[in-house]
Amino acid sequence: MTSPLTLRQQKRPLIGCTTYHKIVAQSPPIEVYGLMPAYVAAIREAGGIPLLIPLAAGEDELQAIFESVDGVLLPGGGDIAPIAYQGQSHRSLRDINPDRDRVEMFMVRQAVRAQKPILAICRGHQMMNVALGGSLWEDIAGLMPGAIQHDNYLTSPRTFLAHSVQITPDSKISHWVKTTELPVNSLHHQGVRDLAPELTATAVAPDGLIEGVEVSGHPFAVGVQWHPENLIYDNPTMLGLFKGLVTAANGRNETNGSNRAF
């Protein structure tokens, strides 16, 4: 087993990953905080070390964790509470978790303020927008005029390429995926409605839905609506987004030294 000292000597950056909360149906039932293995694999393939962030952490603990990691990943998951973006309740809303909303808002705002690298995926992409002052379509199919189908998680495997996105040339996304048009999977029913003032839209679906965002002037603050972690073996360019996160985190680690509390 690799020791913490060896990991520090290798200078592989620590990537703090927010988690989901589930109750495992067994006797007796148990509660867990978790992360899908595809995210873990993608971070490791890109050269980083994933560190899971528990949703029970208080603000002081979150600050200590934030200062100890070199970058942040916000994964996909359930819906964000509409109150966070002055939205409305909708019958399609599912798996709302106030603790997860709280933890991820903290991480987004701190990462933007401190210029710490962050990659936000699907729900994470939406949370980046909400945390910085934007809003969401509570349900794309029911509310967004002219929308294509985005909720393919109901009918298709996670690797199904549902549509392409147009990516802004010279953006961080285009740099790391090496193209300006990319076929992507689509596993969501919510999406960015009003874009937060600090964000720039850099990837768009055929129906105009914003599917990629960046913070201008930030080393690496990127959100994507699709799930690149599920596509890194079918399309290796998808790993580029994780390499972008890890590269930026590694540069910060080498420049600033380690602030790790463990």
- The reply to whether 17 belongs to the active site is no
Separation CA 122–CA 85 (nearest Å) = 17
Residues 138, 198, 211, 229: which is the catalytic one?
A: 229
**Which residues, at least 6 apart from 52, have a Cβ–Cβ distance to it below 8 Å?**
17, 19, 33, 34, 35
Which residue's structure tokens are 């399609």? Answer: 92
Separation CA 159–CA 156 (nearest Å) = 8
Six token digits for residue 248: 């930026």
Residues 122, 125, 189, 214: which is the catalytic one?
A: 122
Which residue's structure tokens are 């991820």? Answer: 104
Whether cis (ω within 30° of 0) applies to the bond prior to 183 is no
Separation CA 65–CA 177 (nearest Å) = 29
Asked if 129 and 200 count as a contact pair (C-beta separation under 8 A), the reply is no
Beta strands in 35-135 (DSSP E): 49-53, 71-74, 118-121
Q: Are strands 71-74 and 14-18 parallel, antiparallel or unpaired?
A: parallel
Residues 125, 150, 188, 227: which is the catalytic one?
A: 227
Asked if 71 and 119 count as a contact pair (C-beta separation under 8 A), the reply is yes
Nearest CA to 182 among 160, 200, 205, 199? Answer: 205
- The reply to whether 150 belongs to the active site is no
Separation CA 213–CA 226 (nearest Å) = 12
| Helix orientation angle between 98-114 and 123-131, rounded to the nearest 10 degrees | 70
Active-site annotation, residues: 122, 227, 229
